Amino acid sequence: MTTSLHPAQSTRVNQELDLRIGGTFERGGGETFPVHNPATEEIIAEVAAATPAQIERATAIARAGLDRDEMGDAKERSAALDRLADVFEAHADEILAISVNEIGTPVSTAKGLHVDTPISVLRWMAQGALTDRTEHLGVFDGPPASESIVIHRPAGVIAGIAAYNYPLLFAAIKVGAAYAAGCPSVLLSSPNAPLGILNFGRYVQEAGWPESSVSVLAGGVDVAQHLISRPEVAKVSFTGSVPAGKAVMTTAAQGLRDVVLELGGKSAAIVLPTAHVEAVVEPIHSRYLRNAGQGCASPTRILLHRSQYDAFVDASREYFDSVAVGDPWDTRTLVGPVISERHRQSVLAHIGNALSDGGTVLARGHEPQATGWWVPPTLIGGLANDARCNQEEIFGPVASVQVYDTVDEAIAIANDSTFGLHATVWGPHDEAMEIAPRLDVGQVSINGGGPKRPDAPNGGWKNSGIGREFGEAGIREFLEPVHIQWPVT
């Protein structure tokens, strides 16, 4: 299918609507579902879900390819990952357009989030595929004396299930790490955003990957459950909500399958008493407002020293007045729509709960009076940390402000959460570095941190998930260690 990007754009998108099963493309045989542009509410495509038979063929092809050693050696896999990154670069405009149109990410941030970061992940995985992970344990005195090495073998067929907010990044993380480890994948899109993932199947084909290395499916919960339960699947890599993650884990447990779960977050942003308050307002708010707040690491619990509260709120009101909300193709826009009307209602319900619990709206941004699933940027105050607004992941352009009197109290508030994915600390570097190891999270960003590193592990504590993605840790999730031992004299 070929579609226009936007009335103001002349380029066109070659949109794949078929599933990739092994090396062939075919229409899904299951229920057809619409894909909407969340900024216009228009149906931009219709996609057919995979049937149980199609799922079973995909997993069987992957397992057979692994048994026939079709994944290639380390050098071949590295070259294939680099070729896939080349294909991403060649289709950068197309990927950008799909991301803006099916997710609603503003074009002002979409290139970095949906194009550049996946490419950097694929490039890093290409190098990671070349790493010799053999461990030489040396001689063990015994008696009797022996020597050992530990080698690492591919874990098997990987079922990758992507969330809607960064689909091609999740494809690069899951498929890229699995293939670097020598594992084939069956990748399933979110029904909210299948178009980028379906095109991923075409990109893999264009990059000349082995036919059995990747299959790409579309569908909902029933497709995911059938995929996870297939006996050929050795491990499941899932990104999504906590309830969905628990369901994935329950299904996987029936076959004693391992899981990698990247789930939700309720990240704290600690503003130290010595921080320059006005200087941190824009970077804190813009971090969770991008992608309309639909990011697991969004710093949506803002912790301020009591003396900073008034200045921060005043500056936040000015900032919210200046934030552009609207057409994601407008380069001035920071906040686009949320993914669906259902999700919009969910976010608005969270705001309503906060107000009914005694909170107040401290700042509110613009809401376009036009078609689209819009939620105005909203800053809430007046609630204790145990309030629903401060404990539940909202996944929208909504944050809260709390005050503390001591830094120890701020750390305690930050850690008082069922999540543990990410935290940010703002203030003098040395002070922030002392605090970072005391936070119960998988990543701490100091004064904004930096761009997403493909070589650094990503994952969380508590309800934020199990296992790690990105970097060496991400590849090792798809490897099984094998101890080899022999006697010596």
Q: 413-444 pLDDT, tens per residue?
A: 999 999 999 999 999 999 999 999 999 999 99
φ, ψ at 264 (rounded to 5°): -85, 180
Separation between Cα atoms, residue 331 and residue 105, nearest integer Å? 11
Neighbours of 32 (CB within 10 A): 10
Cβ-contact 50, 223 below 8 angstroms: yes
What pLDDT shows up at residue 302?
A: 98
- CA atoms 174, 176, 180, 183: torsion sign: positive
pLDDT at 489 over 70: yes
pLDDT of residue 12: 64
Model confidence at 5, pLDDT cuts 50, 70, 90, reads very low
pLDDT digits (tens, 9 = 90+) for 357-379: 999 999 999 999 999 999 999 99
Q: What region, left, alpha or beta, does residue 67 occupy, with left being phi > 0 and alpha being psi -120 to 50 degrees?
A: alpha
Closest CA to 366 of 394, 330, 312: 330
Q: How many helices (H) and strands (E) would you count in the chain?
A: 16, 24
Residue recorded with tokens 């045989």: 29
154 neighbors 234 (Cβ within 8 angstroms): no
Q: Is the pLDDT of residue 158 over 70?
A: yes
CA distances from 342 to 191, 224, 347 (A): 13, 21, 9
pLDDT number for residue 4: 41
Residue 10 has pLDDT above 60, yes or no: no
211-220 residue pLDDT tens: 999 999 999 9
Structure tokens at 470: 């990105």
| Global pTM exceeds 0.75 | yes
CA-to-CA distance for 287 and 296, rounded, in angstroms? Answer: 11
- Has residue 150 got a pLDDT over 90? yes
d(CA 289, CA 170): 20
Looking at residue 400, its pLDDT comes to 98
Task: Spell out the domains of the chain, with CATH numbers in brackets.
Answer: 2-263+464-483 (3.40.605.10), 268-453 (3.40.309.10)
Residues 73-93 pLDDT 10s: 999 999 999 999 999 999 999
Q: Among all residues, which ones are annotated catalytic?
A: 262, 296
Distance CA 448, CA 46 (A): 39
Say how far apart CA 259 and CA 229 lie, in whole Å. 12
